Structure 1
Amino acid sequence: MTPFDIGLLSLAAMGLAVMAGMFVPIALMVCSFVGVWAMKGSPVLASKLLGLAANDAISSYFFGVVPLFVLMGFVVSEAGFGRDAFDVANAMFRRLKGGLGVGTVGANAIFAAITGISIASAAVFTKIAVPQMIRHGYAPRFAVGVVAGSSVLGMMIPPSLLLILFGILAEQSIGDLFLAGIGPGLLLALFFSLGIVIMAVLTPRFVGEPNDEAAERYSGPELAAKGLPIAGLIVLVLGGIYAGIFTPVEAGAMGAIGALFLGFAMGRLTLKSLWTVLLETGLVTATVCFLIIAAQMYSRMLALSGVPAGLGTLATDAQLGFWGLMILYCAIVILLGMILDSSSIMLILVPLMLPVVIPMQIDLVWFGIVTVLAVEIGLLTPPFGISVYVIKATLDDPSITLGDIFRGAAPFALIMLVVLALVLAFPVIATGLIPGR
């Protein structure tokens, strides 16, 4: 067999292993090792090549951005800044029809700007926003749908763990990816808010009978006390990056230090809760590290086999063109989102697609934003929909089923498709803030 044939067989074997229930990084590693062994004829050589890949994957300076931003996210979550964001956003949008729902979207956007982890957003706002919305007359299905939909903002509005992962995989500037995420992230939040107001007017049965006027009110000084620490963290981290004061790694470190200082200064963190935060940070960092190592091994195996180059030739010969390729790619990403988690989709598809899109001179930063947007839709689609499962696990209400959450999230998945189409049609939405693009 030729290396190309072996590469195709390895891809097929990996797909079967994943469908059979094997963890994606393990399937990537095993199939990569066996594939290189078959191509080179030596298990020793295969182990050395893949060992070098593993070393290269985590020895990069920019890998340090992962644990630092994860630490900052967990500290912010543990210190209760999510509730502060909800209170501030709810006060801003209280007078709108469907104001609590719009406030939840706004709070998620604020929370996303200091965490970057959609699962954390889903868990935090399930506890905070869902009971509040139900208490004020919103239908339970709509309440959980709002939280499920808006939780995906954590993966688009910087800092974003998925954008960091794409930057490492595609060797692109994480700072540029963060800048590119601002426009689509804010557009997504705006469309979610408009969608909630429209649903509140046109589909009252789906939304319920909200009474936003009964929502808790705060004075100006109280709102300032809640909002200023969050605003300070956002300015410190993102302002530092965009002003050129910090690299993304340094900004992650400063953000983590700032979050720890605020948490202890405001009496919201204890040594016991800090230990919990450190354990969770270690677990997430180890998981991401394992995923990146597996992806690097997989990339090396694919490069040796010539499969990506073959796919690029196939795409050229098929004359799909730019639009044909991008629509097909987005469709595959969304379909995979129904059975795989977001990071696994990126690990599998990005190394496969980069050799195809680079010769077409497609902007890789824009391509990363399109990828993350398409992947985010998978967070809300059955049967996998990881955000939906996080909400169900966090809810203390057996009357709300998984089906209810998926149905509540469906309008937000459709809104995301609209935003994805806009970013595809108008790349400037993503690249407009990046100097020189």
Structure 2
Amino acid sequence: MAWVGLALLPLIGLALILTGLPAFIVLIGASGLGALAAAWSGSGGLLSALPARLTNLFENDLLQALPLFVLMGALLNRLPLADILFRTGTGLMRGSPSGPQVTSIGLGALLAPMNGSVGASIAVLSRTVGPKLVKHGVEPADGLATIAVASTLGVVVPPSLVLILLGDAMMAAHTIASNTMGRSERIINTQDIFRGVMGPAVLFVLLCLAVAAWKGGRTKLSVAIGTSSSIDRIVSIGTIAFIVALLGGVTVGLFYPVEAAAMGAVTLLVGGLLTGYLNRQALMGVLAEALAITGALFALLVAATTFTLVVRCLGTDRLLGQLIADLPGGELGATLVVLGILALSAFVLDVFEIIFVVIPIVMPALLMRVGDAVWVSALTILTLQASFLLPPLGYAVMIARGTTAEVVPIRNLMRALRPFLIAQATVLSLTAAVPAFVHLNGQPQKTTSALAVSEKDVLDKLNQLAPAGPLEVPSLNLD
């Protein structure tokens, strides 16, 4: 029955493409099919653990950050902060034709981690930056590429919601792998991943700024860039200082993501009310949008938790572990194969669906073989970001194309994205080749126990796994 669970994965992708149904409905349907197969084979007893898994899931305090990040994204979409920051940035660079594109990348690096999702970032940047890029003479393909790249910076720049959820999923996967292999090692946490991703994220942002400056230098501005007002500069300085302090404080561990999300959401809410940008009608729209997105994410999380339990009932996790253990090429070869699976998934699933569904299935098996969980996490998030930018099916590219009135040919868009993709490939290759790049803070790359595990040990441990009872079920614990 293990192959039934494996077959459900492409079936889910096809159902999402062909039916257009929400992901949580498709996952619940797939879970029902898998549960019937498990019951027919006599291995459905593990399903009795589902209530305990869901209770454990919703008792997690970290889930409070999810609606708060979503609320911040909805508020940023309604408030003129992005517009003010863009005017200030281009005003400071008014002597350079690259000002609009460089400012757009900087704006994405600053605001995207607070938006909660790639889609929310694209909505903000398309509304505020898109028309101004066209106004200043930037080619439509270049403008679209700039917006798509800037929106994905929230995936890799900590402490974004994506990294918070990935960190928690990787912590659960690392726990399962360590317990299965009998290793005594420190389990990674979200802060470890924040610090590990920081080096690649900073390098990628710098490369994107360099690409934007190079591309912008070849643009002939059709409209002169004006100067920013004193009020714009004051608001921009205060906003940048607040965001840097907020994001930096979480990254270095001064306060928790929930606290940062609460401070950010309340500050934006109070600022919008005091300035009059949030009247009763606008506020109701913001709250309705935040509630709808939050509800969809929680429904997805419940469906994904159910599906991963069904997959475990079918024994698919053990099958994947054996397949990964048999892969040639050592740790790097196994990691690259799993990253390829994630990249293909990104053409069908969004980042939250990948974190909730795919990561809990494939990562425990990979971390049984690979000792450096922080390195794997950094490669995972970089791979997902790169996949979102690959035309024509990249998630960010498809959404960005849908927000523009003018149709941009794929050929032109690929040409505009090429320098950014080269920069992304450079960072990804460097991180893969030099694992120390994610350990700049001096953390050990691996434990000695992880290094001592051979492929035969992995297979032996997997074969020794007995069907677990309800108390032994590893949950998607978002502590």
Question: Given that residues 309 and 355 in structure 1 are in contact (C-alpha distance below 8 angstroms), is that contact kept between their aligned partners in structure 2?
Answer: no
Identity %: 27
Quick one: which amino acid aligns to residue 227 of structure 1? I
Q: Give how far 1:339 is off.
A: 3.2
Note the C-alpha offset of 1:244: 4.5
Cα distance in 2 between the residues matched to 1:6 and 1:130:
46
Is 1:137 the equivalent of 2:146? no
- What corresponds to 2:12 in structure 1? 14
Amino acid at match of 1:198: W
Say if 2:13 and 2:348, in contact at 8 Å, map to a contact too: no
CA separation in 2, counterparts of 1:178 and 1:270? 37
Structure-1 residue corresponding to 2:193: 177
1:25 aligns with 2:24: yes
- Alignment deviations for residues 3-35 of structure 1 (CA, whole Å, 9 cap, x no partner): 424433434543443453354333322222332
Aligned pairs (5 A) from 1:310-349:
310-349=319-358
TM-score by length of 1: 0.86
2:238 aligned partner: 228
Counterpart code for 1:33: G
Are the equivalent residues in 2 in contact too, given 1:191–1:415 (CA < 8 A)? Answer: yes
1:35 corresponds to 2:34: yes
1:419 and 2:427 aligned: yes
Q: 1:274 to 1:363 in 2, by over 3 A?
A: farther
Structure 2 residue 400 is the aligned partner of structure 1 residue 391: yes
C-alpha offsets along residues 226-253 of structure 1, whole Å, 9 cap, x if unaligned?
Answer: 2213422431x32443564532212211
| Structure 2 unaligned spans of 5+ | 173-187, 446-479
Shift of 1:45: 5.7
2:122–2:400 Cα contact (<8 Å) kept:
yes
Q: How much does 1:191 deviate?
A: 0.9
Report the CA distance between 1:224 and its aligned residue: 2.5
Cα distance in structure 1, aligned partners of 2:10 and 2:109: 39
1:117, distance to aligned residue in structure 2 (A) = 2.6
- Counterpart in 2 of 1:352? 361
The residue number in structure 2 matching 1:119 is: 119
**Structure 1 residues 16 and 103: CA distance shift in structure 2, 3 A:** closer
Check conservation: 2:68, 2:262, Cα contact below 8 A. Answer: yes
* In 1, Cα distance between equivalents of 2:413 and 2:435: 32
Q: Count how many residue pairs are aligned between Structure 1 and Structure 2.
A: 427
The offset of 1:291, in angstroms, is 1.6
Does the CA-based 8 Å contact 1:112-1:159 persist in structure 2? no
Question: Matches of 1:379 and 1:323 in 2, distance apart?
Answer: 23
- Shift of the 59–321 alpha-carbon distance from structure 1 to 2, 3 Å rule, reads same
Matched, 1:306 2:304: no
Q: 2:416 aligns with which of 401, 408, 432?
A: 408
Is 1:190 the equivalent of 2:203? no
Measure the CA separation in 2 of the matches of 1:393 and 1:62: 33
Matched, 1:284 2:282: no
Question: What displacement does 1:81 show?
Answer: 1.3
Alignment deviations for residues 282-323 of structure 1 (CA, whole Å, 9 cap, x no partner): 111111112211221222122233322322222223333122
Aligned partners of 2:150 and 2:354: how far apart in 1?
21
Q: What's 1:147 paired with? A: 147
Q: With the length of structure 2 as denominator, give the TM-score of the two structures.
A: 0.79
Q: CA RMSD in A?
A: 3.0
Question: 2 CA distance for matches of 1:95 and 1:118?
Answer: 31
Q: Find out whether 1:85 has 2:55 as its counterpart.
A: no
Q: Is the 8 A contact 2:76 2:124 kept in 1?
A: no
Structure 1 gaps, min length 5: none
Aligned equivalent of 1:267, options 264, 272, 276: 276
Matched to 1:307, the amino acid is T
Q: Is the 8 A contact 1:86 1:103 kept in 2?
A: yes
Tell me the equivalent position of 2:109. Answer: 109
Instruction: Look up the SS of the partner of 1:398 in the other structure.
Output: coil
One-letter identity of the residue aligned with 1:215: I
For 1:418, what is the secondary structure of its paired residue? Answer: helix
Give the 5 Å matches for 1:185-264: 185-200=201-216, 204=218, 208-210=219-221, 214-218=224-228, 222-235=232-245, 237-242=246-251, 244-264=253-273
Q: CA separation in 2, counterparts of 1:280 and 1:165? A: 21
**Counterparts of 2:311 and 2:442, CA distance in 1:** 31
CA 246–312 in structure 1, closer or farther in 2 if over 3 Å, else same: same
Contact 1:72–1:255 (CA under 8 A) maintained in structure 2: yes
**CA displacement at 1:97 relative to structure 2:** 5.1
**Larger RCO (CA under 8 A, 6+ residues apart):** 2
Question: Contact 2:159–2:251 at 8 Å: present in 1 too?
Answer: no
Change in 2 beyond 3 A, CA 1:136/1:7: closer
